[in-house]
């Protein structure tokens, strides 16, 4: 089972390498510009990372190498969204509508992942984006947390994209500051309610001022000032809601859970980098509905004699 899973992951990796090579071919890129064809009117992208424990096992006769500990499995998700009909809305989605936020859900999800540096992962981001015509999409929206590597890659490859910091990450920053500043419940709840409402209304400057008032005496408040200042343009939630954008990155976070937490963090699991990557890529293909295409490739391989 393990060897077959890794073999399927290796086929997925091979597909991705071919996409990367094609995405760096200037002739092909120019042809796409001349004949773009149909593209998704509004395409979303989202990136995140989750930790994987790597325990290298030396081959027979080799000395034990340096322990690698934990590595980041970077996960990318491309998707579209659709409105949820009133009859299908959950309690949480009905609350969203009550707060003037569209009830949206993701569809046509495509997951990709790898354990690699951000620059190398950027090549996969660009290649898969080219396959889905993200660069030609009339409207491209990227969701993520405040990690600099995410926004650096988006700016490098898709500078025209709308950038949105996940609402729940921003909200968690404010909750952390409130817990550090106030020891009593009522003042904490009052302060938190005011700054959350300001953030919801896109008034990031008010949020920064509220945190700056405590920055000299609380480290979390000082860090929050930097966080909100750096991401101010990505937190205009009033504008994003008015445009009908999704403002939560739960889609890629779900991918991280299903690819990494539910598969690679099983009790007693030990991974080499190669084993973790190929298993994760196979899992990503399964979640993306691409498993059958890998099976077709697997069946087309020549049999050993």
User: For residue range 153-163, what is the model confidence (pLDDT) as tens digits?
Assistant: 999 999 999 99
Q: Angle at the Cα of 214 (from 213 to 220), degrees rounded to 5?
A: 135
- CA dist 13 and 6 (Å) reads 10
pLDDT band at residue 305, thresholds of 50, 70 and 90? very low
85 and 200 both lie in a single domain: no
**Residue 42 included in any domain:** yes
Query: Per-residue pLDDT tens for 249-279?
Result: 889 999 999 999 988 988 878 889 999 999 9
265 CB contacts (<8 Å, ≥6 apart)? 52, 53
**Residue 261 included in any domain:** yes
Query: Per-residue pLDDT tens for 86-121?
Result: 888 887 777 777 776 778 899 999 999 999 999 999
Residue 64 pLDDT: 58
8 and 79 both lie in a single domain: yes
CA 205 from centroid of its chain's CA atoms = 26
36 and 174 both lie in a single domain: no
**Residue 52 included in any domain:** yes
Q: Is the pTM of this model over 0.85?
A: yes
Domain, as residue range, for 85: 2-161+249-294
At 83, list the tokens. Answer: 């409105």
223 and 256 both lie in a single domain: no
Count of structural domains, the chain: 2
277 and 218 both lie in a single domain: no
Give the closest residue to 11 by CA, choosing from 305, 290, 304. 290
- CA dist 63 and 65 (Å) reads 6
At 34, list the tokens. Answer: 């001349």
152 and 196 both lie in a single domain: no
Where is the domain boundary, 192, 217, 237? Answer: 237
85 and 221 both lie in a single domain: no
């Amino acid at each position: 089972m393990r060897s077959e899973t890794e073999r399927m992951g290796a086929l997925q990796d091979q597909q991705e390498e071919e996409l990367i090579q094609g995405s760096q071919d200037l002739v092909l890129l120019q042809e796409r510009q001349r004949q773009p064809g149909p593209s998704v009117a509004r395409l979303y992208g989202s990136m995140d990372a989750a930790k994987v424990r790597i325990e290298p096992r030396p081959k027979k006769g080799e000395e034990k190498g340096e322990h690698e500990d934990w590595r980041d499995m970077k996960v990318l998700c491309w998707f579209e969204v659709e409105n949820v009909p009133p009859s299908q809305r959950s309690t949480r989605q009905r609350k969203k509508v009550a707060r003037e936020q569209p009830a949206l859900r993701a569809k046509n999800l495509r997951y990709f992942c790898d354990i690699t540096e951000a620059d190398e992962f950027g090549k996969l981001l660009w290649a898969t984006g080219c396959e889905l015509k993200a660069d030609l999409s009339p409207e491209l929206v990227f969701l993520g947390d405040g990690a600099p590597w995410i926004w650096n890659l988006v700016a490098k490859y898709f500078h025209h994209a709308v950038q949105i910091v996940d609402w729940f990450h921003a909200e968690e920053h404010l909750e952390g500051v409130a817990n550090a500043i106030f020891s009593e419940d009522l003042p904490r709840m009052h302060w938190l309610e005011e700054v959350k409402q300001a953030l919801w209304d896109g008034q990031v400057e008010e949020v920064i001022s509220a945190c700056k008032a405590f920055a000299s005496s609380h480290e979390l408040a000082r860090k929050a000032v930097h966080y909100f200042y750096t991401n101010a343009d990505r937190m205009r939630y009033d504008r994003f809601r008015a445009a009908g954008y999704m403002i939560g990155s739960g889609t890629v976070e779900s991918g991280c859970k299903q690819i990494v937490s539910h598969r690679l963090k099983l009790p007693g699991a030990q991974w080499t980098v190669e084993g973790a990557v190929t298993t994760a890529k196979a899992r990503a293909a399964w979640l993306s509905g691409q498993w059958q295409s890998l099976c077709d490739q697997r069946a087309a391989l020549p049999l050993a004699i």
